[in-house]
Amino acid sequence: MGTEYLSGGFLSNGSCAGGESNGKKMRKVVASHVLHSVRLDSLLVKRREEAEELVSFVYNQCIRNNVDSVINVRLVARRYCGNVIRKIMFSRRYFGEGKNSGGPGFQEEEHVESLFIVLNHIYSFILSDYIPWLRVLDLEGHERIVSDAMRTISKYHDPIIDERVRQWRCGKKKEAEDLLDAFISAKDENGKPWLSVPEIKAQCTELMVATVDNPSNAVEWAIAEMINQPDILKKATDEIDRVVGKERLVQESDIPHLNYVKACLREAFRIHPVAPFNVPHVSTCDASIAGYFIPKGSHILLSRQGLGRNPEVWEDPLKFKPERHINLADHHHQVELTEPELKFISFSRGRRGCMGVALGSEMTVMLLARLLHGFDWSVPSNEEKIDLAESKFDLFMAKPLHARAMPRLPAELYPA
């Protein structure tokens, strides 16, 4: 989850404003009612359905192109992330009426595109953040762009949320089946709803925004780097074959045993962070860190690139080398996507760190593992290697990754 899921309602255009106390309330609700382990376990079936659909989507593209197809990996990765969060949030993959299968339609593409527009501007520099009286001028045009994107997101979210709230209030809905139900049914110690409807809408949007970018970006970069280093790609697929075999598809229960696959993702997070800096934080008191005095109220930015590519910490920092994340001396060591020593940032750390680490990790590993297990990946026939250039405007790949995919498992394992 790339925006670290602040749970303060910062995307609600003021409807959820409430300062520090409101932020604490939001985090409490999310931690205790929404993203706890029992809730996530209950949504496993929904996540599994989207993992099946992911493989089916790529396989069908291969079949249409004589079992040797050039796949837009960015489209596949973002589509999967959008499908997963819509499924576990709203119990639906699509916004169109009666659509339960097939490829993404205009609504889904517009929805994900709007989420990424918001994400890009969350991370961007805005002068009026530091000179507030300039906000009315909207010099960079950011407020207009974000407002338009938020209206698009609300166009899809609000009718679903309003109808679900009505169902709970009139007694038609009594059991929580997804994250939206969890938000609506959350009660305080007096038995009253924790969140107002505007707060629920803000939290749904914030969780959506926090889910789509980090997994899709890390997996796109990881596959690109691995295709350019076939020995790494082979090590990862060999590990999956050894743990899972070729008689079934990889599942979330296999994740603890896929250390090399997770090491590849850690390396992607290290070299190719989703944004140059973390989301700005504000110091709540005077502090001294690493010899620097930080006054209370200071805006704190951590350089994701500066940490992950620091030559004083990482040997040959620009080389994609998953082995650096594996403890060869400890055969029981579990590789995790989080980085407790802050040598790079994947899901942030500390009290304001991402509460969706478990969900984000599962989505990221399953996305990469399913793509590696289900398909052989290689450079398109008209190219010598994958171009690893970064975009001039953000840290995504300059060009969406297009790679050849060929099914590598028995045909009966690919969902229809």
Residues annotated within a binding site for heme = 354
Angstrom distances, CA of residue 238 to CA of 68, 116, 188, 321, 379: 21, 34, 49, 17, 19
The residue type of 3 is T
Cα 192 versus chain centre, distance:
32
Q: DSSP alpha helices (H): ranges in 30-141? A: 37-42, 44-64, 73-90, 106-122
The enclosing H or E element of 404 equals strand 402-407
Tokens encoding 229: 């280093």
The residue type of 406 is M
Total residues found in the chain within this entry: 416
Report strand pairing: 287-289 vs 292-294: antiparallel
Query: Which sign does the torsion angle of CA 90, 218, 373, 416 carry?
Result: positive
What is the Cα–Cα distance from 247 to 412, expressed in whole angstroms? 9
The beta strands (E) that lie in 126-186 are given as: none
What is the Cα–Cα distance from 255 to 239, expressed in whole angstroms? 11
Tokens 């255009």 belong to 13
**What residues are designated binding site?**
354
What is the Cα–Cα distance from 184 to 194, expressed in whole angstroms? 8
User: How many Cβ atoms are within 10 Å of 373's Cβ, its own excluded?
Assistant: 25
What is the Cα–Cα distance from 211 to 3, expressed in whole angstroms? 8
Rg of the chain (C-alpha set)? 22
